[in-house]
Structure 1
Amino acid sequence: MSRLQPPHHSTEVKVSFPEEHILLLALNRPKFLNAMTPQMSEDLKNLLDWFEDEASLWVVIVTGEGRVFCAGADLKAWNNDQQSGNSKEQESIVANVHGFGSLSRRSSNKPIIAAVRGGAYGGGMEILLNCDLVVAAEDAKFALPEVKRGVVAIQGGIPRLEHITGHQLASEMLLLGKTVDSTDARNRFGFVNFIVPPSQVIATAISTAQQIISNSPDAVQSTKLGLLLAQKHNVSEAVLTHAWSAHSKQVYKGDNIKEGLKAFTEKRAPIWINPKL
């Protein structure tokens, strides 16, 4: 994987390739609890845009260095903007089409896994709500405390949480600014998939990614598209839009479907190739 050359980025994001086809992005401001900065957001945008276009990368894992996944926005910098009268939040929200950290509203056809140690707060929570799978440490905490600071979880967190949990549970977190633990996050609210000891979070995320890449990348990416379409359309519209998509064409006209069916009849593991979209 060393042949891959990611775009230039600052030290605020660490980039690695733990296994073939897997990209690992680590937010790297541990002294500041990985609070998002404009530089970090720009780095993430460039790296994730590159990930989308790089055919040999099939899954991305997002995590945070240090004791917190992401504490959300840099409130000190935000306060300075507000007090100076230079704040332009509404314009910024509209202009940033991929949302907080270029992740909270990103519509990627490739799977995104969040690996959470310590906790996810505010914008960090909005990021993980838009991930496909969430691995959390046993002691992790989760909150959307924006109302406690006079702001709003407006970068995608509100509709995503409502969709995942239903209105009353979403209101419990959003209107109270309530903090929940990993057990509640999985059993009551439903936005955490796996709970493991803190030392096993990254390894479990990588293992989960490996389970994904053992499947056809064409089929996985088309299935992810189907999940995204299900959020926007009724059943009939979602099915028809999915059926006529470029991803469906790639599945049914591509080489991986032939390999998958042939491997089944020959009773062997399939050997997948990179998608050709």
Structure 2
Amino acid sequence: MPALETQPPSSKMFKLSFPTPNILLMTINRPKAMNSIPMAGHWEAASILDWFDSEPSLRVAIVTGAGKKAFSAGQDLIELSSVKKSPGKEGSHPSSGFLGISKRIGKKPIIAAVNGFALGGGFETCLNCDMVVASPLATFGLPEAQVGLYAAAGGLPRIVRTCGLHIASEIALTGRRLTAQEAFSYNVVNKVSETPEAVVGDAVDLAMKVAAISPDAAIVTRHGLREAWNEGSVETAAKNTSDRYTDGLFQGENFKIGVDAFARKAKPEWVPSKL
């Protein structure tokens, strides 16, 4: 257990662990339900990730599913069919979307470790994670239209931007599922693990590389990347990040630590970000 400055929210649906003092591993713990998410689960996840963003000791989060079959099969449709649609937690997602991730802006990076099916909202979650590692047995799809719904948690615009209109249309309109290798070829995943058992470890290895850089630089760089993804103008995207973070970055302690360590050819000893 790392030396946390604050304690995480309690949760009935997610198991929290810490592979290193700077990395949070959030496991969807509903394997008998294919890690589908009931309405309350989205709010729990959003609360956990808000805490993650504010907890100084943590730098990267990983989300995965319990068991061998599913990362997440999406919304709990059995519950959904009986829930009366109304404002609030009983019948809606938080503003950050499915699993608190699919529409999340956030501050710190999240890596998906996809251990099996990533369907519907499970796939939409992956599409808005910062990086994705997939088991060789993982599959990805947006089957919502086949049950009279549509991918409303942010997945449609994100998959178009990631895969292009034509592949995105085939996935969303025909129910085509992508294998892990196909997802890799369409830039949906960063890495396909050699074995199903290796997927979380590979995600931790990737997270450790991110956690090794300046916490301030990670926040600012991530913001710049996402501004470029979301904005139509390169100039606007660059200006938004500069206006928000440049002064704080250069006035911060980690900038001084990094420059001094470079001059001394030493390993920098970062401090928690104050950005």
User: Which 5+ residue runs of structure 1 have no aligned equivalent?
Assistant: none
In structure 2, C-alpha distance between the alignment counterparts of 1:145 and 1:123, rounded to whole Å? 10
- What is the distance in 2 between the residues matched to 1:28 and 1:215? 31
Give how far 1:92 is off: 8.4
Deviation at residue 250 of structure 1 after TM alignment = 2.3
Give runs of ≥4 in structure 1 deviating > 6 Å: 89-95
**Aligned twin of 1:198:** 196
Q: What is the TM-score when the length of structure 2 is the normalising length?
A: 0.93
> Among residues 54, 74, 77, which one is paired with 1:75 in the alignment?
77
Matched, 1:19 2:20: yes
What is the identity percentage for the equivalent residue pairs of Structure 1 and Structure 2? 38
Q: Which amino acid in 2 is paired with 1:191? A: V
Normalising by structure 1, what TM-score? 0.92
User: Is the partner of 1:241 in helix, strand or coil?
Assistant: helix
Structure 2 CA distance, aligned partners of 1:94 and 1:36? Answer: 12
Q: Deviations over 1:148-207 (max 9, x none)?
A: 1110001100011011111111111111111110000011x2110010111111111111
Q: CA deviation at 1:49?
A: 0.9
* Counterpart position of 2:48: 47
Distance 2:42 2:141 in 1: 21
SS of equivalent to 2:19: coil
- Look up the equivalent residue of 1:234 and give its one-letter code: S
**CA–CA distance in 2 between the matches of 1:271 and 1:11?**
36
Residues 89-131 of structure 1: per-residue CA shift (max 9 Å, x gap): 9998986311111110000121110001112000000001000
1:250 partnered with 2:251: no
CA distance in 2, matches of 1:28, 1:253: 42
SS of equivalent to 1:69:
strand
Superposed, which structure 2 residues align to 1:1-277 within 5 Å? 1-4=1-4, 5-66=6-67, 67-81=69-83, 86-88=84-86, 96-187=94-185, 189-196=186-193, 197-230=195-228, 231-245=230-244, 247-277=245-275
SS of equivalent residue, structure 2 residue 226: helix
Distance in 1, matches of 2:57 and 2:9, equals 19
- For the aligned residues, what is the CA RMSD? 1.9
For structure 2, the 5+ residue unaligned runs are none
Deviation at 1:79, TM superposition (A): 2.2
Kindly tell me: are residues 61 and 233 of structure 1, through their superposed partners in 2, closer, same or farther at Cα, counting changes over 3 Å? same
Distance 1:255 1:26 in 2: 33
Q: Do 2:96 and 2:103's aligned partners in 1 also have CA atoms closer than 8 Å?
A: yes
Mapped partners of 1:257, 1:23: distance in 2: 24
